[in-house]
Structure 1
Amino acid sequence: MSHDLESHVHESARRARAAALDLRAVPRATKDAALEAMADALIARTDEIVAANALDVSAARESGTGEHIIDRLRLDADRVAAMAQGTRDVAALADPVGEVVRGSTLANGLQLRQVRVPIGVIGMIYEGRPNVTADAAAICLKAGNAVLLRGSGSAARSNEAITAVLRTAIASVGLPEDAIQAIDPSDRSSSTALLKARGLVDLVIPRGGAGLIQTVVREAQVPVIETGTGNVHVYVDADADLAMALDIVVNAKTQRTSVCNAAESLLVHKSVADEFLPRVVAALRERDVTIHGDPAFAATDSAVVAATDEDYATEYLSLDIAARVVGSFEEAVAHIRTYSSGHTEAIVTGSLATAQRFTAAVDAAAIMINASTRFTDGGEMGMGAEIGISTQKLHARGPMGLPEMTTTTFVVTGDGHIR
């Protein structure tokens, strides 16, 4: 990494820190006005954003990028409109800054309050999806933070266009442009410089594949929240309503394949396998899903590919699913514990007791009972746009919305108290 590049990134971080200090005292009304201005600008400049994105998509196709990755990268008018609506949704949410998490009057008369405050400067390192640029900027701004956005080279033109739109918008209501900055992705070392900006950057959030996340965790000298991969399972229990199970499996796998909350593995209890396997295999095959299955699945349809241990450990992000029949609830849980990435796990069952056992036995950021895994999403959970889904256990876990982008300060009020 060149000294000039590191200096440039760190100078951006210094400007972000100055902007973050200004944002701490900005009232909700001003932040919401900025968010509305951002949404209006995204709509007004849609053609400009889509044109920049078309260049990224074209370059990706020319380089042989897979279609599931291009789907993440692609923007059209509807997707830009969704970005704008996500920004408006954030504006409509309660401001977490100033919320009293807990408070009490101590025995000596001191009044104690634990209050939410902005984190400061947040660095985002992410792959592919340019919508993350708008989502992250909106959430960070509403929570009083400045954000440094280091997207991938594949989305460089898209992210540059979106960032320029957002910076102009917030400046129009008097907020510092440097609260939203893009880090040049043309040199991989810019990520390293961001990760080494200790004292300038308060938190880094990686969002992308396992390789990106592990690189960030390994190299970071600043705190990191991991947004883990999604090796997501659906377990069809002995007491499942099989019509419901079929709908859930098909939705979880095929509604959108290139996202972390899509199902990647299917487990079916042996007592319902004879009835359920032909139905689910036919439904998935009808939607062009390749099934990597155990002998029971292979016996159902000759198109089933023999599954390997690697298949069960894979986050496909494509029209592929690993599948097997399990002999018991305990075997299903053991399989999930072996291969789960801790993102989302689902059970389909008519037994309340079994659902409760599953919730207690499975360790994941989100657990779905008789519902598609696709609901592990900040918007679907009523949080507005999310900045990512944390699979770690400290500070934030699951979809990260506004409260997760704050820390706390203890405010102690006395009346001349001395110790």
Structure 2
Amino acid sequence: MTLVQENLDIKSQARAAKKASKKISILPTEDKNRALYILAEHLEAGYESIIEANKVDLQNGIEAGYTPAFMDRLTLTKERIIEFAEGLRQVAGLEDPTDQVISDWTLENDLQVKKVTVPLGVIGMIYEARPNVTVDATGLALKSGNAIILKGGSSAIHTNKAIVDVIQHALEHTKIPKEAVQFIASTDRKATQQLFTMKEYIDVLIPRGGASLIQTVVQHATVPVLETGVGNCHVYIDSEADVEKALPILVNAKTDRPAVCNAAETVLIHKDWLQKHKDELVETLQKHSITVHGDEVALSAIPNAIPSGEEDWANEYLSLHIAMKIVDDVHEAIDHIDHYGTKHSEAIITENQETADVFMKLVDASSLYHNASTRFTDGGALGFGAEIGISTQKLHARGPMGLPALTTVKFLMTGNGQIR
């Protein structure tokens, strides 16, 4: 397996990013937008070099025995690179999240107080296989006035390095210093661990990937972490669910893109609804090749279902497998979600507004749905443009994180000689 391995001075890269962040933080919106358009043009013009690098990662993936779904996420084509470029243009068209006045007031002593949005500074992005993250994260960081240090997974390292080479070359034709985008071209885990503790240069870390990666960053970093979450998402079908809504929503949440974090992994079904609609449910599951891992009641209702174990309730299958539990009421469903959920996305299907209200108020998750699919937990789908990840924590940002999540605030006070 061919891997990039260079002699790196990560501290120097971080120091350069910090210095560049000062310059980009004061650039006017039009300069940042122009830079994103230039980046888009260079990506489209330089697609051949990116695809050549991608071939090396794909060959390594074949040798490593990666799954077809993994290989699909890793594969780049000219069309996909053009989509990356178009994404940058879309980000350029979004409102600048910096220098926004959140509130302002004047004290009794005539001291003027203003609360405004400002860039975070330097973002450390630690992620796995998806090369699109390299472009999306860069575009969002630069538009919000931040520098970014990218540490992608080894499976896409040649592809990511080629993309960043194009980006840095493009930045030479803009007012943004090319040092504002840094790439850690190493597969050594020590390089990632070094980023965890560089508080003097990095303002926030954003991990994006599987549970193992995210928890490693959360548990070991001394730099503040914007925690993105894995998705053990649930669909609860209530006793008063409309079958013509429930089944299409369940199918969409499970099968539209099974390997993404907002896909449903568990369906909770009210016992009375199951009794009324068992035949339609079975037919739908079979039609869409969904394999059920069920509790005792589900096993008796669903042909060829697999007995569920404790691990099934917590499993992120990322495939056409789903766990199924039959419950007595909405409160049992909520208790199950509280125990096994990952605070990502949860849905209730019901025509009873009171039941829906209970679910929406009591379930602790970043994104809740009444009579809709969990697949909408996505920055693009919710109108944010691109997203840098989906936060399942409660401080600073929660849910799909677009441009506003990459800012913080300053209080600006203006006086005329006031003292205290």
Structure-2 separation of matches of 1:79 and 1:278: 41
Per the alignment, in what secondary structure is the counterpart of residue 265 of structure 2?
Answer: strand
Alpha-carbon distance between aligned partners in 1 of 2:288 and 2:11, rounded to the nearest angstrom: 48
Q: CA deviation at 1:380?
A: 0.7
Which residue is equivalent to 2:213?
Answer: 212
Alpha-carbon separation, structure 2, partners of 1:56 and 1:290? 32
Deviation sequence 1:360-399 (CA, Å, 0-9, x none)? 1100000011111110001111111000001111111111
> Which residue number in structure 2 is paired with residue 408 of structure 1?
409
1:58 corresponding residue in structure 2: 59
Alignment of 1:243 onto 2:244: yes
In the TM superposition, residue 49 of structure 1 has moved relative to its aligned partner by 2.2
CA distance in 1, matches of 2:282, 2:21: 53
User: 1:331 matched to which residue of 2?
Assistant: 332
Question: Residues of 1 paired with 2:371 and 2:54: CA distance?
Answer: 38
Residue equivalent to 1:377: 378
Aligned-partner Cα distance in 2 for 1:139–1:408: 18
Q: CA deviation at 1:279?
A: 2.6
More deviation, 277-286/79-88: 277-286
Indicate if the aligned counterparts of 2:282 and 2:302 stay in contact, CA closer than 8 A: yes
Q: Which residue of 2 aligns with 1:163?
A: 164
Over residues 138-180 of structure 1, what are the superposed CA-to-partner deviations in whole Å (9 max), with x where a residue is unaligned? 0000110000000000010111111112112222123211111
Deviations 1:114-157 (A, max 9, x none): 11111111000001111100010000001100000000000101
Matched residue, 1:36: 37
Q: Which amino acid aligns with 2:311?
A: E
Amino acid aligned to 1:141: L
Q: CA deviation at 1:308?
A: 1.0
| Change in 2 beyond 3 A, CA 1:72/1:248 | same
Report the equivalent of 2:223: 222
Q: CA deviation at 1:107?
A: 1.4
Alpha carbons of structure 1 residues 166 and 344: separation in structure 2 relative to 1, 3 Å: same
Q: Could you say which residue in structure 2 is the equivalent of 1:181? A: 182
C-alpha distance in 1 between matches for 2:378 and 2:233 = 14
State the 1:290 CA deviation: 1.9
After superposition, residues 257-406 of structure 1 pair within 5 angstroms as 257-406=258-407
Report the Cα distance in structure 2 between the residues aligned to 1:368 and 1:22, rounded to whole angstroms: 42
| Secondary structure of the corresponding residue to residue 115 of structure 1 | strand
**What residue is the counterpart of 2:117 in the other structure?**
116
Shift of 1:6: 10
Matched position secondary structure for 2:212: helix
SS in 1 for 2:419: coil
With normalisation by structure 2, the TM-score equals: 0.95
Range that drifts further, 295-304 or 81-90: 295-304
- Whether the 8 Å CA contact 2:6–2:186 is kept in 1: the answer is no
2:81 alignment partner in structure 1: 80
Q: CA RMSD in A?
A: 1.7
- Distance in 2 (alpha carbons) for counterparts of 1:258 and 1:185: 27
Q: Which moved more, 1:72-81 or 1:214-223?
A: 72-81
Indicate if the aligned counterparts of 2:113 and 2:413 stay in contact, CA closer than 8 A. yes
Letter in 2 for 1:93: L
Unaligned runs of 5+ in 1: none
With 300-309 and 370-379 compared, the bigger mean Cα shift is at: 300-309
Change over 3 Å in CA distance of 1:359–1:351 after alignment to 2: same
Check if 1:23 corresponds to 2:54: no
User: 3-state SS of the aligned residue for 1:409?
Assistant: strand
Matches within 5 A, 1:121-200: 121-200=122-201
Q: Which residue of 2 aligns with 1:202?
A: 203
**Secondary structure, in 3 states, of the residue corresponding to 2:9?**
helix
What is the deviation of 1:243?
Answer: 1.2
Q: What's the % identity of the aligned pairs?
A: 46
After superposition, the Cα gap between the structure-2 partners of 1:73 and 1:285, relative to the gap in structure 1 and judged at 3 Å, is farther
Distance 1:62 1:80 in 2: 25
* 1:7–1:85 CA distance, 2 compared to 1 (3 A): closer
When structure 1 is superposed on structure 2, of 310-319 and 56-65 the one drifting more is 56-65
* Count of residue correspondences: 416
Partner residue in 2 for 1:48: 49
Q: 1:102: how far off?
A: 1.3
Change (3 A) 1:70 1:5: closer
Q: Deviations over 1:200-224 (max 9, x none)?
A: 1111000011111111111112111
Shift of 1:57: 2.3
Flag the 1:300–1:187 CA change in 2: closer, same or farther, 3 A: same
Return the alpha-carbon distance in structure 1 between the equivalents of residues 381 and 307 of structure 2: 35
